[in-house]
Amino acid sequence: MPCPHRLVHSGNKKSHPVMLPPLLSTPSRHAPLERVVAWALAVLLTACAPTPERRGAPAAEWLPSPNFNERRPTYVVLHHTSNDTVERALRTLTDPVREVSAHYVIARDGKVFQLVDERYRAWHAGRSQWGSDFDLNSSSIGIELDNSGDEPYPQAQIDSLVRLLADIQARYRIPAPNFLGHADVSPGRKVDPSAWFPWRLLARYGFGLWCDPPFAPAPASFDPMLGLATLGYDTRNAAAAIHAYKLRFAPNDPGPILTQDDSERLYCLLARRAEALP
């Protein structure tokens, strides 16, 4: 019996089975029963297998090559949803009119939702830059945390995040410096995951950089703005870059000026970055 989805319809509405190529040789009538059953099952599965779809020029002859890779993310960008419930955030992130999404959403109770296949480009970072990368949507996995931006993150939520990041890091070998916040890659435009986010804790697990005082003195020739750019920040708007840096690494001192402590911390972070990156 042909598979239902392998039927084609002619003009008189009668259904006819699609003729499939003989991929398997027919066993002889003297073959053992087990082989006959296995052959019949293989033929049935072949007939019922869905035809793979492809994206490309319709007029081109499809001659598939095995020499390709799927998208391989090299960054993780963390966000907060700015919503009061995860249900509202999920509605926003799955609304085709809003045109925003993320690969994952983590609720306050730690439940993890996946919205976009990791192989695909979610729309979470928007206009963004980190170092020489000007399109973080194409190179990152986006994770939204159900949080208003004005509240601490529950332990259950952070525990789930750590487990998810460990899984992602193991599969893609993403180095510690490449775990970022939305504010890092969009300074002046975004502030998430906010000053409440426990970056120091995540760095202990290998997700992001961190330096605790006391810091070693930076050389007299050290240029902190050049240091921010080397770390990855877009420094074309110096005030925005400084604010994003301090929001993450010195949230208790949100002033617009880089202090000596800020410069020494930055020098330490650059040393940690050099150790972590290949």
| Nearest residue to 184 via CA among 253, 88, 249 | 249
Q: Classify strands 7-9 and 15-17 as parallel, antiparallel or unpaired.
A: antiparallel
- 121-126-131 Cα angle (round to 5): 90
Angle between helices 224-231 and 238-249 (to 10 degrees): 70
CA-to-CA distance for 198 and 152, rounded, in angstroms? 9
Positions marked catalytic: 144
SS3 200: helix
What are the residues whose beta carbons fall under 8 Å from the beta carbon of 210, sequence distance 6 or more? Answer: 199, 200, 203, 204, 249, 269, 272
Q: How far apart are CA 270 and CA 277, in angstroms?
A: 11
State how far the alpha carbon of 123 is from the alpha carbons of 127, 132, 175, in Å: 10, 19, 22
Task: Count CB neighbours of 174 within 10 A.
Answer: 21
Q: How far apart are the first and last CA of the chain?
A: 57
